[in-house]
């Protein structure tokens, strides 16, 4: 075998080795991409779980102390009688509920099935005082997302219509 043939064989071996390395790297990139997607989903799930836990703690705190429970009920059922300080505190309570429900919407907590979310919004807007908060500041909180605004506005209108009859 002469130098020319040896150069050709070594070029072929080098080409095959380069192809092998390219295939190996492509496989590694796929594995890393899948791992990255899995980590992203895990972080979304963890965020949703922490959000749910925090929201449950928040709801429990509304009823855990008599003063918070009384304020929440007074705001829901007799909004006009709230002092300015009570109205501010009640608004913060309601806004925290809105933020929780907006996060559930964004995370598609139920995979696009809106029945539970609808039920949650109906409970959040059930009483007259809850709807007054929506009128005063709730719409503005939702205004960034036209889809959720439309969804909640429909529920609000239904409840207002029922209350008028």
Q: How confident is the model at residue 54 (pLDDT cuts 50, 70, 90)?
A: confident
Residue 164: the pLDDT is 85
Q: Is the pLDDT higher at 129 or at 12?
A: 129
Closest CA to 98 of 61, 64, 65, 145: 145
How high does pLDDT run on average in the chain?
87
Q: pLDDT class for 151, splitting at 50, 70, 90?
A: very high
The residue ranking higher by pLDDT, 162 or 51, is 162
R_g of the chain computed on alpha carbons: 29
Q: What is the pLDDT of residue 72?
A: 92
Distance of CA 35 to the CA centre of its chain: 23
For 24-37, the pLDDT digits (tens) are 888 888 888 787 88
| pTM (2 d.p.) | 0.68
Residues 102-149: pLDDT tens digits?
888 887 767 778 898 999 999 999 999 999 999 999 999 999 999 999
Neighbours of 160 (CB within 10 A): 14
């Amino acid at each position: 075998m002469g130098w020319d043939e040896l150069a050709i064989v070594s070029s072929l071996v080098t080409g095959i080795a380069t192809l092998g390395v390219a295939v190996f790297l492509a496989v590694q990139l796929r594995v890393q991409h899948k791992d990255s997607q899995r980590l992203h989903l895990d972080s979304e799930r963890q965020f949703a779980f922490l959000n749910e836990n925090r929201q449950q703690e928040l709801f429990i705190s509304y009823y855990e102390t008599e003063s918070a429970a009384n304020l929440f009920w007074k705001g829901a059922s007799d909004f006009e009688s709230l002092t300015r300080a009570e109205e501010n505190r009640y608004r913060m309570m309601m806004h925290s509920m809105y933020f929780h429900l907006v996060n559930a919407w964004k995370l598609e907590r139920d995979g696009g099935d809106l029945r539970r979310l609808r039920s949650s919004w109906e409970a959040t807007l059930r009483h007259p005082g809850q709807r007054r908060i929506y009128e005063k500041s709730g719409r503005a909180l939702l205004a960034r997302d036209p889809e959720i605004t439309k969804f909640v506005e429909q529920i609000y209108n239904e409840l207002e219509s029922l209350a008028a009859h």
